[in-house]
Structure 1
């Protein structure tokens, strides 16, 4: 009840900041989004000039997320580093860690080193790492697929699959990443943005292809080991 009262008060505050009155119908609509951030509510209203535009945006995002999160990782086909199609259903029954990688990031050495250790330890127990190079963060993955493979496999002995370079954010984001982000959003259930924040964001996927957890780029792969072991059983 306290949360609902606070949301209603915030709706009024946002409207007053705009020199407008808040309608009962607008307040009631906001209550259907209990994870709204107060700061986001007010700042969005000021930016757009209309608190109702926030509601429209939330309705759209909520619907799109619901649609995008249907199914599982196994429903997707991606390209490998040589341009061949890979049906991810081949990973049914395996625990997956999906990571957007980069070769020139400050997180590169630690992440690639620990990913290789995890893979070596659990690959025979049904664990796979799926690496997707991405150049959207500081231009830190500028090479072509061949150069990326040589870097990862020679310097870090990566034995897990490294796929075609993709976008993980924006209109051209790979469908698999749209699904991952919709399945496990960012802060406050994704209302503040589901986008990948930097290189080496990680998604943990169970044997049925469902995303069970999402980890920040700064989360070390080794610290995820206990969650991996739990899913492996």
Structure 2
């Protein structure tokens, strides 16, 4: 015959374990972009937490792509909105067409030398598949229909740290739809 106290203790322990798992699941689902960082192109870390409360446009880039001229539009967008709080982060990736084959020096020559980029640029990063950077895995889970399909895919992180929008490669950074989404994110509470 089982002791009542033992049964009650076992049941309460099980309830507590289920509650703890539910809290862990809820916390995981509430994770924001501010929990991620990228290694910087020139060393250090680009911590998204440093931009908490501000919108961030995260763009997977490539130096030898037909969309590479979008670097100029990204710089223009950042110049227009940075004083209001927007950050643009370029994330070089060789995932699409092997169009980012170079190392940090070559990426820097294109981004900074040729296009005059002054926003943060990450080190070369995997953005798709099982080896994708954790930010891109998080974004894929949050927006499974808006995965990067090519270079210069754009994710807009809202002030709350969640994905506010996503834009395909073909959409220029200075397109009205991108600018409107950025402006909306800047004014969101």
Aligned length, in residue pairs: 160
TM-score by length of 2: 0.79
Q: Distance in 2 between matches of 1:226 and 1:80?
A: 29
Q: Distance in 2 between matches of 1:69 and 1:174?
A: 18
Higher relative contact order (CA 8 A, sep 6+): 2
Give the alignment partner of residue 128 of structure 2, picking from 158, 169, 182.
169
Give the alignment partner of residue 110 of structure 2, picking from 134, 151, 174.
151
Gaps of 5+ in 2: 1-25
Is residue 185 of structure 2 the alignment partner of residue 231 of structure 1?
yes
2:20 counterpart residue number: none
2:60 counterpart residue number: 100
Gaps of 5+ in 1: 1-65, 187-193
* Change in CA separation of 1:144 and 1:185 when aligned onto 2, cut-off 3 Å: same
Q: Distance in 2 between matches of 1:144 and 1:221?
A: 25
2:155 touches 2:166 (CA, 8 Å); kept in 1?
A: yes
Q: Distance in 2 between matches of 1:130 and 1:69?
A: 24
Q: Distance in 2 between matches of 1:126 and 1:231?
A: 10
Is residue 44 of structure 2 the alignment partner of residue 90 of structure 1?
no
What RMSD over aligned residues (CA atoms) do the two structures have, in Å? 1.7
Shift in Å, 1:67: 9.0
Is residue 162 of structure 2 the alignment partner of residue 202 of structure 1?
no
2:126 touches 2:133 (CA, 8 Å); kept in 1?
A: yes
Secondary structure of 2:98's match? Answer: coil
Shift in Å, 1:69: 5.1
* Structure with a larger share of its residues in helix: 1
Shift in Å, 1:82: 2.7
1:68 touches 1:179 (CA, 8 Å); kept in 2?
A: no
Shift in Å, 1:208: 1.9
